[in-house]
């Protein structure tokens, strides 16, 4: 079976959606499917394209594709840029196309491509999802379509044991980690503000953002730039806590990755986070985030065995999101839609 995966970002953007496509393509290729990845040239960055050699990758403004089933990383624009007669699945991953889509101002702050998607969503013809044979959602939501698959994102739990073993030896510093783009929606400005509130010789703030993301006076934050995904697990394993201060989200994949590595997570009280059903440290303001971090720091310094016990509980709790369980369900969704398209 030939499977097409269509995305509105270049894979070189290097975000969560690009990793979703890359890992799904890799899995499907390993299962013997002929996989093609087609993307738009939006959001080009410096991330490497890490697809298997037998997966076709094509990046251009308009695509005409022949496959047996197509998966769209959906915005209302994509059906008009990826032409395909095969049965189609619309994957609703971004807040801009979810039920609780962001405001025009929030969309504009994310860039012209997201703002264009907002405008398309805002003025789309009612029932625009009906051109698809099925809809895939990563969090429970109301969707106007008769055939909806609910499958959350996954995490590779095979890294868990190694990460927990690395934590057995207490590091010299309490690392506060931010993983994501330095954008307003992702809450990087909150992370910077948090750094101003917390100080200590054994506390270090680390972020996977370019060094030029900081302005004078933003404080001492170690900026690593884009970290390849296979190396991100070492970073999670060293982190004493992940701060994920996002303002909008559909699924917090970095949350489950950090938890799988045993790192507690301080994050915002969004539906996408509470629906995960995981023990997260919620905070609505930067001051509350600082309080949560101080509580974790007190445990880390005063009773490291209790901190390790917490890490083990957190890592065990994400098993329901294990790639070994969920990826076969994605495969089943695609084969079902290919064999039983809507009439």
Same domain, 162 and 148: no
How far is residue 220's CA from residue 87's CA, in Å, rounded to a whole number?
51
Same domain, 33 and 137: yes
The answer to whether the beta carbons of residues 257 and 282 sit under 8 Å apart is no
Through-space distance between the first and last CA atoms of the chain, rounded to whole angstroms: 21
What CATH code is carried by the domain that includes residue 228? 3.40.50.2000
Same domain, 136 and 165: no
Token pair, residue 40, equals: 């738009």
Same domain, 82 and 142: yes
Same domain, 282 and 334: no
Give residue 47's domain range: 2-154+323-339
Same domain, 199 and 145: no
pLDDT value at residue 236? 96
Same domain, 283 and 191: yes
Same domain, 108 and 21: yes
How many domains does the chain divide into? Answer: 2
Same domain, 190 and 139: no
Per DSSP, the residues of 225-241 read -PPPHHHHHHHHHH-SE
Which string of b and e fits 2-25 if b means at least 16 CB within 10 Å?
bbbbbbbbbbbbbbbbbbbbbbbb
pLDDT value at residue 11? 96
Q: What is the pLDDT along the chain (343 residues), one digit of tens a residue?
A: 999 999 999 999 988 899 999 999 999 999 999 999 999 999 898 889 999 999 999 999 999 999 999 999 998 888 899 999 999 999 998 654 444 445 555 554 555 555 555 555 554 445 678 899 999 999 887 888 999 999 999 999 999 999 999 999 999 999 999 999 898 989 999 999 999 999 888 999 999 999 888 877 677 899 999 888 888 999 999 999 999 999 988 888 999 999 999 999 999 999 889 999 999 999 999 999 999 999 999 999 999 999 999 999 999 999 999 999 999 999 999 999 999 987 6
Same domain, 266 and 293: yes
Same domain, 135 and 234: no
Same domain, 287 and 330: no
If we measure between CA atoms, which residue out of 185, 257, 254, 194 comes closest to residue 220? 194
pLDDT value at residue 143? 86
Work out the mean pLDDT of the chain and round it to a whole number.
89
pLDDT value at residue 292? 97
pLDDT value at residue 111? 53
If we measure between CA atoms, which residue out of 213, 212, 205 comes closest to residue 235? 205
If we measure between CA atoms, which residue out of 319, 289, 25, 330 comes closest to residue 176? 289
How far is residue 6's CA from residue 37's CA, in Å, rounded to a whole number?
6
How far is residue 324's CA from residue 262's CA, in Å, rounded to a whole number?
19
The answer to whether the beta carbons of residues 47 and 11 sit under 8 Å apart is yes
How far is residue 228's CA from residue 208's CA, in Å, rounded to a whole number?
10
From the CB of residue 247, how many other CB atoms can be counted at a distance below 10 Å? 17
In sequence order, the 6+-apart residues with CB closer than 8 A to the CB of 62 are 81, 83
């Amino acid at each position: 079976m030939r499977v097409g995966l269509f995305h509105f970002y270049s894979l070189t953007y290097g975000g969560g959606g690009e990793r979703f496509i890359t890992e799904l393509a890799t899995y499907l290729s390993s299962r013997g499917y002929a996989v093609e990845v087609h993307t738009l040239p939006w959001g080009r960055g410096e991330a490497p394209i890490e697809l298997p050699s037998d997966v076709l990758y094509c990046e251009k403004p308009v695509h005409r594709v022949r496959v047996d089933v197509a998966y769209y990383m959906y915005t209302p624009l994509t059906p008009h840029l990826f032409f395909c007669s095969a049965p189609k699945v619309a994957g609703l991953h971004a807040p801009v196309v979810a039920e609780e889509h962001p405001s025009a101002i929030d969309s504009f702050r994310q860039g012209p491509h997201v703002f264009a998607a907002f405008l398309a969503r805002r003025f789309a013809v009612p029932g625009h999802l009906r051109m698809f044979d099925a809809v895939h959602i990563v969090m429970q939501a109301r969707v106007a379509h008769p055939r909806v698959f609910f499958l959350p994102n996954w995490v590779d739990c095979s890294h868990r044991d190694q990460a927990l073993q690395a934590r057995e030896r207490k590091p010299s510093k309490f690392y506060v980690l931010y993983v994501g783009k330095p954008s307003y929606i992702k809450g990087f400005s909150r992370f910077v503000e948090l750094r101003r509130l917390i100080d200590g010789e054994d506390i270090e703030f680390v972020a996977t953002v370019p060094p030029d993301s900081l302005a004078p006076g933003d404080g001492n934050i170690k900026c690593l730039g884009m970290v390849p995904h296979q190396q991100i697990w070492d970073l999670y394993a060293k982190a004493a806590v992940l701060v994920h201060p996002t303002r909008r989200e559909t699924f917090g994949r970095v949350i489950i990755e950090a938890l799988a590595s045993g790192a507690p997570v301080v994050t915002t009280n969004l539906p996408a986070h509470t629906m995960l059903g995981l023990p997260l440290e919620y905070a609505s303001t930067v001051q509350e985030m600082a309080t949560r971090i101080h509580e974790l720091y007190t445990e880390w310094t005063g009773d490291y065995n209790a901190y390790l016990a917490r890490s083990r509980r957190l890592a065990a709790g994400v098993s329901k999101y294990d790639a070994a369980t969920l990826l076969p369900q994605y495969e089943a969704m695609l084969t079902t839609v290919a064999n039983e398209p809507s009439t």
